[in-house]
Amino acid sequence: MKAANKPKEKFRKRDLISWLVMLPSLILFAFFVWEPLLENIRLSFYSTKMYETVAFTGLKNYNLVLHDVDFMAAFKNTFSYTLWSLVIGFFVPMIIGVLITETVHLKGFFRMAVYFPNIMPSLATIWIWSYFFLPGATGVLNIIAGKMGMGPYEWLNDPRWTIPLIIITLTWKSAGSTALIYMANIASISPDLYEAATIDGAGIMQRIRHITIPSIFGIAKTMLILQIISVFQILYEPMIFKNGGPNNASISLMMLMYRYGYRDYNVGKAASLSVLVCIILVILSGIYMRATREKEN
Amino acid sequence: MKKKLISLLLCGTMIAALSACGSTEKAAPTETETVEETTTATDDAAAEETATEELPEVTITLGMYPEDTLVDDIAVFDGYIATYQELHPNVTCVPDYYKYSTDTFMPMVESGNCPTIFESWFTEPTKLIAQGAIADITDELEARGWLDAMNPSIKDLLSDSNGRVYGVPRDGYALGLMCNVELFEAAGLVDADGYPTLPKTWDDVAEMGKAIKDATGSAGLVLLAQDNAGGWHFSNIAWAFGATQLTIDNGDGTFTSNLASDEAIAAMEFVKSLKWDYDILTADPLSENWGTGFTQLGTGNAAMYIGANDAVAQPTQVNGLPVDKLAMTAIPAGPGGQYSLYGGTPYFFSKDATPDEINAALDFLEVMGKAPVATESSVAGMRAGAEANVANGVPVIQGFPCWVNQDYLDAQASVVNEFSNVDTKLFQSYFDATASKGLHLEEPGSTQDMYAELTKVLQAVLTDSNADVAALMKQANDNYQTILDSTFGAE
Amino acid sequence: MWFFDKYNDKKDGVIRGYDIRATKVKILALIIMLVCLLMVCVSLFPALWVFLASFKDIKEFTRNVTIFPEKYDWSRMLGTWNAFKFTKYYKNSLIAILGCSACAIIFNGLLAYGFAILKPKGHKIALGLVMWSLMIPGITSIVALFRNINLIGLNQSFIPIWFSFGANAFWVVLFKQYFEGIPKELLEAAKLDGCGVLQIFIKIMLPLSKPILVVVAIFSITAAWSDFLLPYLVLNGTDKTTVMVKLFSFKDTPTDAVSVLRAAFFAIIPPTVIFAIFQRQITDGAASGAVKG
């Protein structure tokens, strides 16, 4: 009864409590995500000794990064990584999702099996794949190829194939979970749509094109941007496989950052490279968000 | 104190239960510290009763304590600690195993957990000194008279441009060519007395490697092309081909890159032919690094590998090669002569260590037999180490002299003779060569960057049979010059 | 034929029950079946291989051109297990996982509750910040983060590892989307009954959100088990070393390839066991959790 008299005050109190509920989580975000990002920007303008800033050097670190002998290679590779991850990483989960949907036997088993690589620790899978791609007779893939009378192949040592093969291992790892999401979306399509299409004389391929694909288009856009962002995080695969080689054929921007920071102990240079990567990501994300918003309107 | 205050403030804002948990976690170490201090104090009190002069209480943490899987080594090391505690009751030794790696080192120093003394790599001094990450120990070494005992070239490697010294060598090393005797025997490469005929020149390596590969299917040579160790090994080959100066010191603090000389290109062409003409390399040089090379050699997957005298435990103890099946010869000669790279594996000291702590740690090196003295405890330390090597099937061979004072060298030689477990003929040519003029220090300048550039070329020529060696070396030369200019200033 | 009969009851997908009468569709169904079986092989083979290869000794591994080991000698496995003290690493990993999973559910859940239901004034700004951090990988600022952890004296402790899981934008989004689907009437009714903000969360939201709780719990458990960069920087060299930290440290330690493989095999066992037990919940959860994304 009193509450009705001063709704505004009550409202404020509830706001306060709400913020208090969210506060611990926001502190964690601030500590683990936001503050380090800002700190990174600050560090990128300083010369450093260990983690301590020594002197403000303006854009010197950025200049060093841009003129680094390996930077252009890493930058170019990023485009190659992105391209291949669009070709392989984006479509494979969709295809898996569609195919498994069309089975009736062992469906649960298929879902489980394709998801399985996803729960394997990435570090363990990188070690395993490095033995799969070993050139020479004892590499696992060459053993298999040999049984079929082919090979031996050079795999990652052929610079034309290094990046596509890395993307394949990444896709192997993550495709299952994305495929499950697509499957759930496909399952929620109303059967009436298919039946209506059938009555209109649409064949199976046409039904896929006009019903299945459009219905997963929305989720696919989200997956696409997540895919591109994940490309900028590629670090351990090229590092453990070939240390960025052969001759820089697979070096990634993040790997270069890791080298500056942890091999050369040059924190300022590492920070400025990661700021550059962040800028690229912010631009990409901005484009994406704008695009989706326009679509919604 | 300040740290604790900040942490308390931050914890206060978090949920009470969790912050409580946090403070217990933090309180625990303090408690043990106090306990430790009390023990030290009691020890000290006991010591003071017997000793007349008052000694400062010191605690040192020992980063070179063996990894917990190496049970035998731990037993030996615990013996060192026991001996040390008898001699220096005022010092508390805390084992604190730390395996140096570039990605953990700086975080560890930053958090104040750097051990008082730890082992590092030969690649690291310049960088660590520049970052101020390790202690200057010149004064302590001076007072002990160790400065003059140190092999001058190794001392240079551990010093900054002002001649201040930052490390103590654990071992000196000179690179040689390690050979798997089993494979040489299998390929019939033995002389009338049954000794393996070891290669003397790089052409020998190519021919013998081919003979071994044809006879056994195992690779002739392990060549590294994964990381900087590839360029490190390659510089030996380049010198042998006559490219004895890959970096030219201009004398005014600047350097000129010299990677594209005809000799260096010839050396790289030779490496290329090892892959594409002779085909004697392991399946994937791009996956080979310092450690895997020893695996290939030790397991009989490859017959020859560039390795140093201080790494003989790698093929044997770690990878199972019988102790009498390892031979070592000098780095092969080429058209330009014969050169072996030498250097030292260093111990460094925490930048936060006090002079007392540094001295206590240096005392500990004496007990380990790693110091330039021949005291009773020092010799006992050498003997314990040699005994453990014999038990583990590791060849006991002469070290490369990192200290040059005669009493130390004599003591070391007598220990090696006493525990010798290998036929010295299998190592003779290596020791002959490293005692001669063919020793070569690492190139000056920004050496690790030079290795990185050379490794990229190695990767290219080993994966592409049509690679244009001259163009690649030119590119590497340009890249390295850019790095030299930005590090040391342009000419 | 029994194989095709079952297609008559097919409820989803492009191929409908009535299609299967055509021979062309029958062939298509068979091909799809075969392709799916092939995908299963590709998915499972690496794990199977590491199991088989772990039985080899180093000589056999580097020299023999075989998939299967000469003999299945469990004592070799046990030897590596004991030599590297994996029991201890397993224990440490368990401690890390439990804390991480709890933090992931509590903190991300509460934040999502704020964004989806409470919506206090100004929450859009915070939401925007959280969404942006979804776009920027945390690895870019790992150096600065580590510096902060040192600054407040939490190095060499599990605490930063646990709490780092409490700030995951992806899980916040998952929770938020699920919470938004909870009928508002239920919440209004609870509010009228005099339930406080936290009470509503505990008494209404959580019981209604079991599916998403399971999803985030499982995601966070597998993520915590696999997490290694921050744990490596914070815990390496302490007695709190986890399985992944050990596995990562092999890159600098000369260790023979077979030991690394066995360690990798040990690292795969727990997630595989969890997966074998909860496979239904995991695959259903993984799909339903993100379905509205």
Domains and CATH numbers, chain A: 62-296 (1.10.3720.10)
Look at residue C65 in the predicted model and tell me its pLDDT: 82
Q: How distant is the alpha carbon of residue C131 from its chain centre? A: 21
Distance from CA of C38 to the nearest CA of A (A): 10
Distance from CA of B2 to the nearest CA of A (A): 17
DSSP string over A11-55: HHHHHHHHHHHHHHHHHHHIIIIIHHHHHHHHHTTEEEETTEEEE
Distance CA B230, CA C122 (A): 57
User: Does a structural domain hold residue B294?
Assistant: yes
Q: Which chains touch C (3+ CB pairs under 8 A)?
A: A, B
Task: Determine which of C136, C221, C269, C281 to mutate to test the interface with A (most A C-beta atoms within 10 Å).
Answer: C136
Q: From start to end of B37-166, where are the E strands?
A: 58-62, 91-95, 117-119
Asked whether C245 and C231 are in contact (CB, 8 A), the reply is: yes
User: Does a structural domain hold residue C183?
Assistant: yes
Please tell me whether residues C233 and C125 are part of one structural domain: yes
User: For chain A, what is the mean pLDDT?
Assistant: 86
Please tell me whether residues C111 and C231 are part of one structural domain: yes
Distance from CA of C225 to the nearest CA of A (A): 7
- Going by C-alpha positions, the residue among B430, B433, B458, B462 that lies closest to residue B179 is B430
C-alpha distances in Å from residue C249, one per residue of A17, A123, B17, B130, C235 = 45, 11, 34, 26, 11
C29 touches chain B (CB under 8 A): no
User: Does a structural domain hold residue B416?
Assistant: no
CA end-to-end distance (rounded Å), chain B: 49
User: Long-range contacts of range C195-202, CB-CB < 8 Å, 24 or more positions apart?
Assistant: C196/A17, C197/A14, C197/A17, C197/A18, C197/A21, C197/C118, C198/A21, C200/C117, C201/A21, C201/C109, C201/C110, C201/C113
User: Which range marks the domain in which residue B331 is found?
Assistant: 174-340+428-488
Please tell me whether residues C4 and C142 are part of one structural domain: no
How many domains does chain B divide into? 1
In A, residues 240-259, which contact C (CB 8 Å cutoff)?
240, 254, 257
Mean pLDDT in residue range A113-125: 91
Look at residue A296 in the predicted model and tell me its pLDDT: 52
User: Does a structural domain hold residue C57?
Assistant: no
Distance CA B158, CA B169 (A): 8
Residues 6+ apart with CB under 8 A from B106: A50, A51, A262, A265, B131, B133
- Going by C-alpha positions, the residue among C240, C155, A43 that lies closest to residue B7 is C155
Q: Which chains touch A (3+ CB pairs under 8 A)?
A: B, C
Asked whether B147 and B117 are in contact (CB, 8 A), the reply is: no
- What's C216's DSSP letter? H
Please tell me whether residues C34 and C141 are part of one structural domain: no
Q: Inter-chain contact B314–C254, Cβ cutoff 8 Å?
A: yes
| Of the candidate ranges A176-180, B13-17, B193-197, C57-61, the one whose mean pLDDT is the lowest | B13-17
User: Does a structural domain hold residue B239?
Assistant: yes
User: Does a structural domain hold residue C56?
Assistant: no
C15 touches chain B (CB under 8 A): no
Please tell me whether residues C88 and C161 are part of one structural domain: yes
Residue type, B123: T
Asked whether B360 and B88 are in contact (CB, 8 A), the reply is: yes
How many domains does chain C divide into? 2
Q: Which candidate from C58, C147, C232 shows the least CB-CB separation from B110?
A: C147
C-alpha distances in Å from residue A10, one per residue of A2, B429, B464, C121 = 10, 91, 75, 13
User: Does a structural domain hold residue B365?
Assistant: no
Cα angle B400, B62, B121; round to 5: 40
Look at residue A11 in the predicted model and tell me its pLDDT: 59
Task: Determine which of B118, B295, B305, B316 to mutate to test the interface with C (most C C-beta atoms within 10 Å).
Answer: B295
A190 touches chain C (CB under 8 A): no
Please tell me whether residues C88 and C31 are part of one structural domain: no
- What's B56's DSSP letter? -
Cα angle B396, B400, B405; round to 5: 110
Please tell me whether residues C251 and C142 are part of one structural domain: yes
> What counts of helices (H) and strands (E) characterise chain C?
16, 0
Domain CATH number, residue B204: 3.40.190.10
Please tell me whether residues C20 and C92 are part of one structural domain: no
Q: Is B430 exposed, middle or buried (0-12, 13-18, 19+ CB in 10 A)?
A: buried
C-alpha distances in Å from residue C145, one per residue of B130, B396, C150, C211 = 24, 47, 9, 33
Which residues of chain C are within 8 Å of residue A15 when distances are taken between CB atoms?
A: 120-121
Which residues of chain B are within 8 Å of residue C232 when distances are taken between CB atoms?
A: 103-104
Q: How distant is the alpha carbon of residue A32 from its chain centre? A: 20
Please tell me whether residues C88 and C160 are part of one structural domain: yes
Which ranges of B88-122 would DSSP assign to H, the alpha helix? 102-110
DSSP β-bridge partners for residue B167: B348
Residues 6+ apart with CB under 8 A from B234: B267, B268, B271, B454, B455, B458
Mean pLDDT in residue range A245-256: 91
User: Does a structural domain hold residue C249?
Assistant: yes
Mean pLDDT in residue range C194-215: 86
Distance CA B360, CA B356 (A): 6
Q: Look up the pTM and report it.
A: 0.84
C-alpha distances in Å from residue A66, one per residue of A73, A75, A253, B320, C71 = 11, 10, 12, 47, 54
Asked whether B187 and B328 are in contact (CB, 8 A), the reply is: no
Please tell me whether residues C149 and C35 are part of one structural domain: no
Look at residue B29 in the predicted model and tell me its pLDDT: 39
User: Does a structural domain hold residue C55?
Assistant: no
For chain A, list residues whose CB is within 8 angstroms of any CB belonging to chain B: 23-24, 27, 31, 49-51, 64, 67, 69, 130, 134-139, 154, 156-159, 242-243, 245-248, 258, 262-265
Domain CATH number, residue C158: 1.10.3720.10
Distance CA A130, CA B365 (A): 40
Distance CA B335, CA B110 (A): 49
- Tokens 């969360």 found at: C201
CA end-to-end distance (rounded Å), chain C: 40
User: Does a structural domain hold residue B179?
Assistant: yes
Please tell me whether residues C85 and C19 are part of one structural domain: no
Mean pLDDT in residue range A60-70: 92
Distance CA B302, CA B296 (A): 5
User: Does a structural domain hold residue B300?
Assistant: yes
Q: Is the pLDDT of residue C288 over 70?
A: no
Mean pLDDT in residue range A189-195: 84
User: Does a structural domain hold residue B168?
Assistant: no
User: Does a structural domain hold residue C45?
Assistant: no
Asked whether B146 and B268 are in contact (CB, 8 A), the reply is: no
Look at residue A4 in the predicted model and tell me its pLDDT: 45
Percent composition of chain C: helix, strand, coil (DSSP 3-state, to 5): 75, 0, 25
Mean pLDDT of each 10-residue bin along chain B, 491 residues long: 44 38 37 40 44 74 83 88 92 87 80 87 83 92 92 87 91 92 94 92 96 93 92 95 92 91 96 95 89 90 93 88 94 93 89 93 92 90 91 89 89 92 91 83 87 95 93 96 85 53
User: Which range marks the domain in which residue C23 is found?
Assistant: 1-40
Which residues of chain B are within 8 Å of residue A254 when distances are taken between CB atoms?
A: none
Which residues of chain C are within 8 Å of residue B111 when distances are taken between CB atoms?
A: 150, 155-156
User: Does a structural domain hold residue B364?
Assistant: no
Nearest chain A alpha carbon to B479: A69
Q: How distant is the alpha carbon of residue B289 from its chain centre? A: 14
Q: Inter-chain contact B103–C233, Cβ cutoff 8 Å?
A: yes
DSSP β-bridge partners for residue B91: B58
